[in-house]
Amino acid sequence: MSVRTRRLRACGLAVLAPVLVWLVADPVLGHPLRMVDGEQTLDVGAVPVATVALLAALAGWGLLAALERFGVRRARAVWVGVAVAVLAVSFLPLTGDGMDGGTRAALALMHVAVAAALVPGLGATGGADATPRASGRAANSVGGERI
């Protein structure tokens, strides 16, 4: 399987996983995911969940591709570190007021589900075809000259 196919599948799974969490929490268990900010109430639905997950997946893929393209040493390790940091920061809004424990737990599980799909799916090495090469040049060269 090519790197692009593996990463595309990881992004698809990253979109599907939080939607499945939402399906279990909201329609199946009957706990609407709701956040209250003063007089405004925000109901979390499947479409916003899928949209945010897709944006996160594409941003993660784009960052990894940029790190690899610009020859960052240990690009995947750097990317995994950034992904773990982003996951940790994504929990900060869940510490505030305006949502009950069930909503907080479901949202946290959604964040973990996206990370569980993306980190191994995008960051994994997959053998000889997993390392992209720039137009036939050697991996340790710049402008055709060996470094």
In this predicted model, what pLDDT tens digit does every residue of 16-33 receive, in sequence order? Answer: 999 999 999 999 999 999
Lowest mean pLDDT among 111-115, 121-125, 134-138: 134-138
> Using CA atoms, how far apart are residues 128 and 135, in angstroms rounded to an integer?
16
Q: What is the pLDDT of residue 93?
A: 92
Residue 63, pLDDT above cutoff 50: yes
pLDDT digits (tens, 9 = 90+) for 101-113: 999 999 999 999 9
Give yes or no for residue 137 having a pLDDT over 70.
Answer: no
- 78 Cβ neighbours under 8 A, 6+ residues apart: 67, 72
User: If 0-12 CB within 10 Å is exposed, 13-18 middle and 19+ buried, where does residue 76 land?
Assistant: middle
DSSP E strand stretches across 1-147: 34-37, 40-43, 141-142, 145-146
Question: Can you give the pLDDT at residue 87?
Answer: 97
Q: What is the pLDDT of residue 125?
A: 64
Are residues 125 and 17 in contact, defined by beta-carbon separation less than 8 angstroms? no
Section 35-57 average pLDDT: 94
